[in-house]
Structure 1
Amino acid sequence: MGTRKDSVDKLVIFLAKRDGIDKLVKTFQYVSKLAHWQLQKHNYSSMAERAKNWEVSSGLSRKAFRTGRFLTGFNTVRRNQEPNWTLQTLAVLANSGEMVYFFFDHLLWLARIGVLNTHLARKMSFISAFGEAFGYIFFIISDLINIRKGIRMEKQLKWEIEEMNSVCESVVVEEKRKKLSNVKSQRIMQLMAISANVADLCIAIADIEPNPFCNHTLTLGISGLVSAWAGWYRNWPS
């Protein structure tokens, strides 16, 4: 009973976050995209149209819900306190690309709903996708560097624990084990971030440079769900 209550509490906390709602609606968006593809293949035109409407409305609602999101990247750049200049530079480049992505994504939404000239939609979509791809490349590089640092730290901590087991108090060893556990947990989060960013990069490439692989419905659908579910994992309350 307690486990079920905890799960419900965590779901409420998750859905109270803007990112939590975004990942839920993103799941709807890409499940409906795959559903539309399958239904269309089997000539269920009426149901396929409903699935397409669900996909479009989910995509537009996500854009509306993320209004002002580009300011998050600006705030991250402003408060950037990464420990070395390489990570600082990567953080600035990554968040700058994300700012461009979200800013022009807002304009794309306005063009799609007819507030701006609808002919601007294609141009806004290209600029938004280009900023998205640019940012994700540097996010991925940054996470790979942090994973490499984490592996080195893990090796160091394991060696220290082995050395201390015979000569140090159990409290000191326990602290080292907690640090080791934190390093492993951070690596899982970084791997989830890389998975999401690679998936979103694939979606962005499909918009920048259309090609048979990235633009295939199955590729886009799976990429969208990988990104959404990796985001679920990262934002789910611990």
Structure 2
Amino acid sequence: MASAAAAANRPEPHKSTTAKDRDFLTHLELYLAKRDGVDKLLKLSRYAAKFVLSSGVLAGDLPIAGRLKSFESSVGVSRKAFRLGKFVQNMNALRATDFAAGHFHRRHALSAVAGGGEGIYYFIEQFVWLGKAGLINKRYLLSLQKCSAWFEFIGYFGCIALKMIELRKIDEDQRCLKSSIEVSKLRGIACGNEEAKLRKLRKTTTMKRLSIVQDLADGLMALADIRDGRGRLSAPLLVSSAGLLSALISTHKNWVSC
């Protein structure tokens, strides 16, 4: 009740306030108010723990190593619970896609692969969570995890292909804008709007490339799950490093988007 009263008396930040204008605590409050914000912090803490464990910094027989392993496992289960119902976002995204015969092309197909794979992954993950929580018989857990990993991998394949197409389109737009700016400068014409658009496109390009790197890292982890940890690409240190890199990128992306 006290926290609710404090929230009611606290002035809300102005809607037009940008991330640069906010102080850190206000930005952090907005970040933690989102499900994805908390999920990415959990992901960051989990893969930081996995990285420390797989790097060999701590001896396996130390008490802190056992506690860190327990922490990593608990955070992994917590993330599954926290993403309950997240597959609905993918369902709505697919519903919003125009699959009419006259408009269907490669991007629609990739959107279906990306959204469908990710949506089914999130849906199955709910049952994985129920299995780990003890509500579903654990004999089904291995099959559910393998199926989940396959659909996750398919989803990332579609996402990467789709983002590569989008990145090529953004690069083309940047080249056109650069040419237009150069022509305008030669003619002595002001081009402030075009330069602002170019800066925005450069930021978009950077974020899109980071997103592709994140998807590649997550796809590597999904592949390791499919292969049950076998092979060089499934080495614990490599997988934990990929997870930590993905967590850092996704945390940054969600922070910037607040």
Same fold (TM over 0.5): yes
Q: How many residues align?
A: 234
- 1:154-189 CA-to-partner distances (Å, cap 9, x unmatched) read 11100001111244642xx11111211121111111
Contact 1:140 1:194 in 2 (8 A): yes
Match of 1:12 in 2: 29
Q: Secondary structure at the match of 1:68?
A: coil
**In 2, Cα distance between the equivalents of 1:156 and 1:126?**
46
State the distance in 2 between where 1:62 and 1:80 align: 28
Contact 1:14/1:237 (8 A) holds in 2: no
Q: Which moves more between the two structures, 73-82 or 114-123?
A: 73-82
Q: Deviations over 1:53-94 (max 9, x none)?
A: 100110000000000011111111111269972222211110
Aligned pair 1:136/2:156, yes or no? yes
CA contact (8 A) 1:10 1:237 kept: no
Partner of 2:244: 225
In the alignment, which residue of structure 1 is the partner of 2:83?
A: 66
1:203 aligned partner: 221
Q: 1 CA distance for matches of 2:247 and 2:45? A: 10
Residue of structure 2 equivalent to 1:182: 200
1:110 to 127, 130, 137: 130
Which amino acid in 2 is paired with 1:9?
Answer: T
Worse-superposed segment, 219-228 or 52-61: 219-228
Question: Structure 2: how far apart are the matches of 1:215 and 1:62?
Answer: 22
CA distance in 2, matches of 1:209, 1:36: 21
Segment of structure 1 superposing worse, 101-110 or 27-36: 27-36
Name the CA distance, whole Å, in 1 between partners of 2:57 and 2:201: 46
In the alignment, is the contact (CA less than 8 A) between 1:37 and 1:48 conserved in 2? no
Equivalence for 1:235:
254
CA offsets 1:5-32 (integer angstroms, 9 cap, x no match)? 6222222221211111111001111111
> Is the deviation greater in 223-232 or in 211-220?
211-220
Residue 216 (structure 1) aligns with: 235
8 Å CA contact 1:206–1:215 kept in 2: the answer is: yes
In the alignment, what sits opposite 2:53?
36
Q: Distance in 1 between matches of 2:29 and 2:22?
A: 11
- Partner residue in 2 for 1:122: 142
Residue 115 of structure 1: SS of its match in structure 2? coil
Deviating more after overlay: 191-200 vs 205-214: 205-214
Aligned pair partner of 2:42 in 17, 25, 31: 25
Residue identity in the other structure for 1:235: N
2:120 to 100, 106, 119: 100
Higher share in helix = 1
Q: 1:93 to 1:179 in 2, by over 3 A?
A: same
**Is the 8 Å Cα contact of residues 170 and 205 (structure 2) preserved in structure 1?**
yes
Of all paired residues, the percent bearing the same amino acid is 30
- TM-score, reference length from structure 1: 0.91
- 1: CA distance, partners of 2:22 / 2:156: 37
Q: Aligned partner of 1:234: which letter?
A: K
Question: What's the counterpart of residue 86 of structure 1?
Answer: 106
Partner secondary structure for residue 89 of structure 1 = helix
- Which region of structure 1 is more displaced relative to structure 2, 151-160 or 228-237? 228-237
> Which of 175, 180, 183 does residue 163 from structure 1 map onto?
183
- Once the 2 structures are TM-superposed, how far is the Cα of residue 234 of structure 1 from its aligned partner? 1.2
What amino acid is aligned across from residue 94 of structure 1 in structure 2? A
**C-alpha distance in 1 between matches for 2:21 and 2:109:** 44
Report the secondary structure of 1:214's partner residue.
helix
2:65 is equivalent to residue 48 of structure 1 = yes
TM-score, normalisation: structure 2: 0.84
